[in-house]
Amino acid sequence: MARILFCWEMGEGMGHVVPVRKMLEGLVRQGHELVVAAVEVHTARRVLGPLCKAIVQAPSPVDKRYPLGRQAEGFADLLSLNGFADEASLQGRHHAWCQLAGLFKPDLLITEHSPGALLMARALSIPAVHVGTGFTLPPEQSPICFPGFKAGENGQREKQFLTIFNKLIQASGGQPLGQLSDLFNAVAGRYLLTFEELDHLGPREGVPYMGVEVPVDGEGPLWPEAGRHQLFAYLKPFAALEGFLTAVNAMGLSLLMVPDRIDPAILRRHQSSNIRIVTERQSMQAVIEQSDLIISNGNHGTAAAALLGGVPMLSFPLHQEQETCARRVAGSSLGATLPVKDGKVIPSLLETMLGNNAMQAACSKTAARYQGFDYQDSITRMVQEIGVML
């Protein structure tokens, strides 16, 4: 049977590997061999370890500091932030990717947020399947701009990358790119692991939306003894965090919260009978069934669970990927978003959202649209279609 190289090069956390696990498991069950190149080997081992013959470190820049001095306006800026504009570094990384290909001799690449792996596949004419969210699998357009930004200088920035990339591609006899988006879209297969309403840079046509699986494992939610309504929050530190917790207490709301790297001293300051802090993973399916409002930093997985459950969302995004997700949520009338520093309006916003019948109706309507959705159907389709490529 065939050998598959799964590549994950950029980003952090299990959100880059958990959504593809069952698909990869299905391909291994067919008899194909799986090897993995991951930016976080420990995370890949935890999620994919039992499926793999080998897991190695994905080539990445030694110097992680490539600041722009401004907010990223498009995909060219995102590549710059990850060191792709440093030609010397990129040449080394590209050589390393090509060495991995020579070592493992894959029949097919499956990539998630891996521009360098896609560049290698293009250069060596290895078929590639690109899976990911609407952020990691950008649309076929030039330039690829993030929401809220105009083309501006993005077109010129993309042309610079095109020159750099095509030099490496043509050195190995590969087919040059016509535009930057070809790197991500001119591949053997593409699958968006999201829903149309949450497509960070969409909606779009021509690429199938496969949806997201809502985890059922984890603890059942145990809500605080006091408080009205039931709010669930999964949050990292942000400037308005204490303003949010102060508002929850002042309004007497019932909050179940999973903190991620939040200073325990902050949590102790806001300890009360209507706030319960838990550290164990929660069953998102159970949480969604019991919640009146979901609060996060704009996490795509959390947003997908809320969408399927018909629960409004409040987002405090920390970076560009979360901001684009939060914008799509708000644009689809499924929730609201606030800049991380804007804490003064939190009480009024919470009160408005909890009593917003129009927003709740929009959430219920969207959830009804996906009432028959089963992620296993998506897995079956992807495994079958990829199996044909092999």
> What pLDDT, in 10s, does the model give residues 305-356?
999 999 999 999 998 999 999 999 999 999 999 987 878 899 999 999 999 9
* Domains recognised in the chain with CATH numbers: 3-211+375-389 (3.40.50.2000), 228-369 (3.40.50.2000)
Whether 63 shows a pLDDT value over 80: the answer reads no
Burial class (CB in 10 A: 0-12, 13-18, 19+), 297: buried
| Mean pLDDT of the residues in the chain | 95
Helix ranges (DSSP H) in the chain: 18-29, 41-48, 75-81, 87-104, 115-124, 154-171, 182-185, 241-251, 264-269, 284-290, 300-309, 320-331, 346-354, 357-369, 375-389
Nearest to 9 by CA among 46, 49, 57, 55: 57
Task: Report percent pLDDT > 70 for the chain.
Answer: 100
| pTM listed for this prediction | 0.94
Residue showing tokens 């030039």 = 142
Confidence of residue 67 (pLDDT cuts 50, 70, 90): confident
Looking from the CA of 178 toward its CB, the CA atoms found within 13 Å total 6
SS3 112: strand
Whether 64 shows a pLDDT value over 70: the answer reads no
The pLDDT of residue 339 = 83
Mutual orientation of helices 87-104 and 115-124 as an angle, nearest 10°? 60
